[in-house]
Amino acid sequence: MKRIVTLNTRNLSESKKNGGCGECQTSCQSACKTSCGVANQKCEKAAK
């Protein structure tokens, strides 16, 4: 596409089918402790 470049992102709709294992880190267990952000986390399904 000439005018649009799409970054490689995990499709959230697709993740509905194979997500939810819960092995990922709990968000607040790192540096913030005072806000909620989840998008920086790594999916750890494969690492189980």
Partner 1 sequence: MGLIHSYKLNGYNIVLDVASGSVHAVDEVAYDVINAYENSSREEIVQYITNKHGVSEQDVLECLDDVEELKAQGVLFSEDKFRPDVDLLSKRSTVIKAMCLHVAHTCNLNCEYCFAAQGKYHGERALMSFEVGKRALDFLIENSGTRHNLEVDFFGGEPLMNFDVVKRLVEYARSIEEEHGKHFRFTLTTNGMLIDDDVIDFANREMDNVVLSLDGRKEVNDRFRNTIGGQGSFDVIVPKFQKLVKARGGKNYYMRGTFTHFNPDFTEDIQTMLDLGFDELSMEPVVCPPTDKYALTEEDKQVLYGQYEKLANMMIARRKEGKPFTFYHYMLNLDGGPCIYKRISGCGSGTEYLAVTPTGELYPCHQFVGNKDYLMGDVWKGVVRDDIRDKFKRCNAYSRKECADCWARLYCSGGCAANAYNSTGDVNGTYTYGCDLFKKRIECAIMLKVDEAQLDL
Count the site residues for partner 1 by CB under 8 A: 44
Q: Which of 29, 45, 14, 8 is nearest to 37 (CA)?
A: 29
3-class secondary structure, 21: coil
Q: Which amino acid belongs to residue 10?
A: R
Annotate each residue in 7-46 with x if it binds partner 1 (CB under 8 A) or - if it does not, as one string: xxxxxxx-xx-xxx-xxxxxxxxxxxxxxxxxxxxxxxx-
Go through the chain and tell me how many residues it has: 48
Taking the complex as a whole, the smallest distance from the CB of residue 30 to partner 1 amounts, in Å, to: 6
Chain residues that interact with partner 1, rule: CB under 8 A: 1-13, 15-16, 18-20, 22-45, 47-48
